[in-house]
Structure 1
Amino acid sequence: MGGFLVPPWFVEQEVTRGIMNTASVFWGFHLAVSAFTCAKAYRQTYHAWKRGHRTTAYIAMIWGHWATNNIYALLAWLYLWGLIPASFWLWFFNLVLWVFQSQLIVQIIINRVSLLMMVRRKVTQLKWGVFLIMALINISVFIIWIPARLQINPTWIHINNIWDRIEKGIFLAVDASLNIYFIHLVRHRLIKNGLTKYTPLFRVNVILVSLSISLDITLIGMMSMPNALVYLQFQALAYAIKLHIELNMADLIKKVVRASNHESHRLSSGIGQKSSTRGKTTTSAKVTTTTKVGTDNSNSFLASISRGANKPYRGHHTTHIELGSDDELSQQRRHPEGLSGIQKTTVITQEVHDSPLGGMDEEDERSSTASSDEREFRRHGV
C-alpha cells in the first residue's frame, strides 16, 4: 500500500538501472551548477548588502529560487531511489515548490527587462500580467497533476499527459517572449541609438536565450521517457541553469555599465564659458537637463551619445548614461506615469565674471556629475 490518499490500485512506475543512471547524471550536474550559482549569488548579495545594508527584492528572489529548487531536486532524487513513498503530500509539496520555482524565475527575468523600460507603470503591468498567467497555470496543474499522479482513474492520467505538455509549452512561450523582448530593447533602444558598447550584451543574451529555450524544449521531450517522473530531476537542473544564466546576465550588465562610466569620466570635459564686464561682480549658474531615449530630443541624443560611446569627442560636452533611478522626484511630478530606463544627463556649468578690461575670453571649465548608472542596479538589487 502507498501513502496518504493513494488508492489500492496504485502501481509504482518501474525504475530501471538505465533510468536511475540518467537521473544520477542530472542530479550530479544539478549539484555542480547549484554550487557555482550559490557562490555567485553570495558575491552579489555581499555587494548589495555592502551598498545599502538591506535585502532587496532581487536578492530575496534569487535565494528563494535557489533554496526551493534544491529541495525540489532532493525530493525527486529520494523518490526515484524509493526512499520516499508516493502519497498526496509528496505530490502536493512537489507542486508548491514548483510554483515558487516558476514564479520566481520569470520575475527575475522581468527584473532584468525592466532596466530598459522607460515607463514604470508598464513595468508593473508586465509583472502582474505574467504573475496572473503563471498563477492560472499553477492552479490548473494542482487540479490535474495530483489526481493523475495518484492514479485516481485513467481519465485524469490521459488529461494530464496532454495538459502537462501544454503548460510546459506556455511556460516556454512566456520565458522566450520576455528574453526576446529584452533583446529587442537592447538592440533598438541602445545599440541603434549609437550605444555600441552594449553589442556584447546583445550577443551574449542571444546565446543564453537560445540555451534557455532549448532547456524548455528538452524538458517537454523528457516527459516521453519510460518513467515519466525522470523529468522532475531534469526540471531541477534546467531551473538551476536558468538561475545561473540570470546571475551571469546581471554581472555582464554591471560590467558594461561600469566600463561605460570609466570611459565617460576619462573623455568628458564639460561646457564652460567665462566673460568679463567692467565694474561688476561674479555670478554663476548651473543648468541640468535630462532627456529620455525615444523623446522628441532623440536626434540630439543620438548625436551626443554616439560620440561618447564610439570615439573620443574633442569638445566640451559631458554626457553620462544612467539607468533610471527612484530619485527622479521632479520628473515624476511632471510625468505622473513615472519614468525609468536608459536616459541621458547633461550638466552645463556657466560662470560670468566681471572685469575692468571689458573684453570677452573663453576657457574650459571642469563640470562633473556622479554617474548614476549603478543606481538602477541598486534599486533592482543587482
Structure 2
Amino acid sequence: MSEPLIEVQGLYKLFGNEPKKHMHLVHEGLSKDEILAKTGHTLGLKDINLKIQKGEISVIMGLSGSGKSTLIRHFNRLIDPTEGQILVDGTDVVNLNQAELEQFRRHKMSMVFQRFGLLPHRTVLDNAAFGLSVQGVRKKEAHERAVEWLETVGLGGYENQYPSQLSGGQQQRVGLARALATNAEILLMDEAFSALDPLIRSEMQDQLVELQEKLHKTIIFITHDLDEALRLGSTIAILKDGELVQDDKPEEILLNPATEYVEAFVRDVNRARALNVETVMQPQTFRITSETIAGALKQMRAHKDDYAFHVTDDGYQGTLTQEGLEEAYEENATGKLTEEHYDDVTQIAPDAALEEILPETISADHPVPVVNEEGELQGELSRDALAEILSPESSDNMSATEQVDAKEPTDKKSAEPA
C-alpha cells in the first residue's frame, strides 16, 4: 500500500485550563469520568492513531460525544492537540506557524459544514467563489470557476439567487461547490448532510459518490449514521468516548466487529443492502477451457462438482453442467460447444448489492458466476455463502431458511460418455 496522505499519531486532546498538567492521569489510564471529577477537565481524544489514503473517502463516525467532530477539527488546526502529530504529506500540521497555517487552510483543505455556512447577503455565485477570493484569485476568474462548479453540482442558473431563496439541499450544494472550487486536495465534511431531509440527504450522498468517481479527492466525512458511513466510506473509523475502537473497510466492520460496542453498532444493519457481491464471493479456480463437447465432458468428469464455468480467451462464456454435457455427447460426440449447451444461469456483477442478486442466487441450482464489465470471470456466489453472511448467529436478521429457500444440490451424474 502507498504512503498515506494523512497520518495521525498519538493524538490526545484534554479540554480545560491546564491540560498538560493533568495529562499524566490520562496516561495512567483514568477514565473520562474520573478525570473530569478529579480535575474539571474533559478528555476529548485519547491516543488516536489513524492513516488516511489519498483519493479515498474516509468516514469517521460515532455517537454524540464520541470525539468525531473534535478529531476532524484537528486536521486543519481549528482545535490544537494536547499531544500528538498530524502529518499531511509528511508535514506536521501541529508545527505550522500562523502564516503557514493560513496558507495550508486556503490551499490544502476545504471544509463543508453541517449548517451550510453560507453568507446570507451574498449571491450563490459570490458564495461559491468565496474561497477563491480568500486565495487571492481575481474576481473574473473566481466567478468563472465558481460557475463551473455550480453547474457540476446541479445549480446552473441559480448564480444570482440568495441562500434564503434556496432549499436546504440546494444550500448544501452551494457549500460543496465552494469547497470544490478552491481545488483543495483534501475535503473535510463535518455532518455535512445531517441537517437535510432523508430524501435530499440520499440525493446528496449519490452526488458525492458520483463526484468522487471523477475527482478522486481525499475526503474525510464525519457522520453518526452507520448507513451513511457504509454507503460512502472506503474506510470507516469508529470512535467511542474519544478512543478509536476500530478502523477498517466497511465489510470488515460489518463482518468482523472488533469490540462488543462495534458489534452492537452494526447489529441492525441490513447486510443485504450494505454488502456487495465482491465482499462475499468465492474464487472459482476450476474452469472448462475446451471448445468441444467431448473435451469439456472429460474436464468435467475430472472435477468433483457437476457444474463448471466455460472460459475462453474471450472471457466467460456460460455455465455447463455434467448432465447437459452427457446429453450433448450422446447426440453429437464430436461437436463443438455452442450457446445451446449452457445452463440458464444469470451472471452477476461484483459491485452489485447483495439484495439486488438475491433472486438469481436463491433460484439457481449451482453457484452463480461473478463476471465484471470486461466479461472476465471473477468468482462465484453460492446460496450457502449468502446464507452465512445474512444470518450470522449473533445477528437479529432473519434466519437462513427464511431468507434463502435452499434446495438440495443436484446429485452428481455418474454416467460415462459412450
| Structure 2 length-normalised TM | 0.27
With CA pairs under 8 Å and 6+ residues apart, which has the higher RCO, 1 or 2? Answer: 1
| Structure 1 length-normalised TM | 0.29
User: Which one has the bigger strand percentage?
Assistant: 2
